[in-house]
Amino acid sequence: MSTHIGANPGEIAERVLMPGDPLRAKWIAETYLEDARCYSTVRGMLGFTGRWSGTEVSVQGSGMGMPSASIYAHELINDYGVTSLIRVGSCGALTEDLRLRDVIAANGSSTDSNMNRVRFDGLVDYAPVADFGLLRTSVEVAERRGIAMRVGPVLAADAFYTDRPDLYDTLADYGVLAVEMESAALYTIAARFRARALTLLTVSDHLKTGEKTSAQEREQTFSQMVEIALDTIVA
């Protein structure tokens, strides 16, 4: 067992899907994985291992925000030998051309988090990026499944509720598609420990139009994104 995950060695697969919401992890395991069993309930941050297309896959809740997601990414890689991680999450759309439930693959992640400023002494603005192999495979899988997935940069924000919506407009001017709260930390930690990481997102709310999906839809209607993530991680 690691500090925050209650699994025995060997109970977590090398390939992991990481939703923020532990109940979404349970839903993914029960809906998609064969022989799924729960390996951790520590802090209610549920984790499961099962099989997808004959290959072992785990699904681990990460919590919300970069401090929480960093803990799980770090321990999965360093304590359990995880080599590939795909975050499956939700995001708020920043650009007019996106619609609720659109799927996005985040090729890069800007951030207002201080974590990398501390890491690099404020001397370098490190550019967290997705693993190219996972990204390429996800694009091929989406095409094969007939799902129109957007590939582009996102913002990983520390605060869900912002006092600076004007910054979102500026970021949209620079091509940033959406805002979520974990990808920059995931990409940075994966790079540091030579693991592969990708973030797939479904638009749950639109910050320009004010449209939103319900909490129940957030939990259960992200199936296209999850199917892309599963096919990608076992490829």
In 3D, which of 108, 82, 116, 92 has the Cα closest to residue 178?
Answer: 92
Count CA atoms closer than 13 A to 178's CA, side-chain side.
31
- Give the shortest CB-134-to-ligand HPA separation in angstroms: 21
The nearer residue to ligand HPA, 47 or 92, going by C-beta atoms, is 92
Count CB neighbours of 221 within 10 A.
Answer: 15
Site string for ligand HPA, 142-161 (x = CB under 6 A): ---------------x--x-
Count interface residues toward ligand HPA (CB under 6 A).
Answer: 11
How many angstroms separate the CA atoms of 161 and 188, rounded?
24
Among 18, 59, 91, 142, binds ligand HPA (CB under 6 A): 91
The nearer residue to ligand HPA, 137 or 213, going by C-beta atoms, is 213
Count CB neighbours of 186 within 10 A.
Answer: 29
Phi, psi of 195 (to 5 degrees): -100, 170
- Give the shortest CB-233-to-ligand HPA separation in angstroms: 22
Phi, psi of 118 (to 5 degrees): -65, -45
Among candidate residues 79, 112, 158, 205, the one labeled active-site is 205
**205 is an active site residue:** yes
The nearer residue to ligand HPA, 102 or 180, going by C-beta atoms, is 180
How many angstroms separate the CA atoms of 135 and 151, rounded?
9
Q: Using CB positions, name the residue nearest to ligand HPA.
A: 92
Site residues, ligand HPA (CB under 6 A): 90-92, 157, 160, 179-181, 204-205, 207
| Catalytic positions | 205
